[in-house]
Amino acid sequence: MPCTVLVGGFFGDEGKGKLISYIALKDDPKIIARGGVGPNAGHTVEHEGKKFFLRMVPSGFINTNSRLLIGPGVALTPDIFLKEVELTKTYGRIGIDRNCAIIEDKHINLEENSEHLSKKIGSTKSGVGACNADRALRKVKYAHEISDLSKYIVDVSQEINIALENEERVLLEGTQGTYLSLYHGTYPFCTSKDVCASAICSDVGVGPTKIDDVIVVFKAYVTRVGSGTLEGELPHQEAKKRGWIEYGTVTGRERRVAPFNFDLAKTAVILNGATQLAITKIDVVFPDCKGSENFEELSEEAKNFIHEVESKIKVPVTLIGTGPSALDIVDRR
Ligand code: GTP
Ligand code: MG
């Protein structure tokens, strides 16, 4: 903090939702703003026995003092947004930028009917890619044109930059992951925008000199939904034996699984300019770490893994996820 941006270092689903909710509770940011692609991302937040799946509302919503914003770079589906505002009871403290692009049924239909997207690329078919294509062609609708959204419309960049001028804390949430970036990822098996840290800043209208920390989140193993290369991919049976099987938040598809990849992690750190790393699901790989909040309490194997990451990647691992709830974290910041 004061201005921290958090992004995924692999293929999305690194557990950003949980990390953001932890930082939101712990650091009490004045503003939590979501950049990234749109409702093709799913974030899971678990807190006080409740579990939320979010595709539009910022994952930091569990801090009820924070102002929540969605930046103009984000594509927005009004129905999903309005339902989530109700679910999270965030009415009155959430705003969306007037220039968010609007996903319409025609965008979803186009993706559903596209063999290229649904069969080859393995798209989530949320309509985001088609919406961004229309946006590039300058024919998409913007949020300020939708009457159901009128009470949420704000100037996100202005709000954030005023907060930063007043030395307030701001947390910027990324979506997807580095290797799903349109520019730096595994094209064509990727999303429809760049999703690295600098893109998230651009999505919400914050200049690069205003960022104090970039936290890149990795999971203790690698998962990927949809098509594209996954080095070291484990057969289903092996993934199951290790307890690493997961299902997608948006699509429900079983995720493909591989062990932690140091080469991918190193490059992700460079692409994002990471100042800190977070590693989630250490307890899934080393079950005796479950629920731990203290580094010294972790098993030798888990500590060795963290030390190996730090020595190979040369960025400190400051946050370690040890369970599904927002507060199941070892915080070494
Ligand atoms: P992002 O898309 O990066 O926000 O991640 P996600 O929320 O989609 O990640 P995923 O769907 O893989 O996470 C789903 C579940 O993993 C949620 O129930 C989280 O609470 C849980 N989770 C996150 N971090 C940890 C962790 O460190 N340990 C364990 N056991 N579960 C975690
Ligand atoms: Mg996800």
Residues involved in catalysis: 13, 43
What is the spatial distance between Cα 189 and Cα 101, in angstroms, rounded to a whole number? 23
Q: pLDDT (tens digit, 0 to 9) for every residue of the chain, 333 residues total? A: 699 999 999 999 999 999 999 999 999 999 999 999 999 999 999 999 999 999 999 999 999 999 999 999 999 999 999 999 999 999 999 999 999 999 999 999 999 999 999 889 989 899 999 999 999 999 999 999 999 999 999 999 999 999 999 999 999 999 999 999 999 999 999 999 999 999 999 999 999 999 999 999 999 999 999 889 999 999 999 999 999 999 987 778 899 999 999 999 999 999 999 999 999 999 999 999 999 999 999 999 999 999 999 999 999 999 999 999 999 999 999
pTM over 0.85: yes
Would you call 75 exposed, middle or buried from its count of C-beta atoms within 10 A (0-12, 13-18, 19+)?
A: buried
Give the 3-state secondary structure of residue 289. helix
For the structural domain made of 3-90+155-331, what CATH number should be given? 3.40.440.10
Taking CA atoms only, the protein residue closest to ligand 1 atom 12 is 13
Taking CA atoms only, the protein residue closest to ligand 1 atom 21 is 324
CA–centroid distance, 70 to ligand 1, in Å, is 22
CA–centroid distance, 246 to ligand 1, in Å, is 10
Most informative mutation of 32, 44, 176 for ligand 1 (most atoms within 8 A of CB): 44
Ranges assigned E (strand) in the chain: 3-8, 31-34, 43-47, 50-54, 67-70, 75-76, 94-97, 101-102, 153-154, 170-173, 213-219, 221-224, 256-259, 276-280, 317-321, 329-331
* Ligand in nearest proximity to the CA of 17: 1
Report pLDDT for 31.
98
- Ligand 1 atom with the smallest distance to the CA of 246 is 12
CA–centroid distance, 43 to ligand 2, in Å, is 5
Ranges assigned E (strand) in 24-85: 31-34, 43-47, 50-54, 67-70, 75-76
* Ligand in nearest proximity to the CA of 174: 1
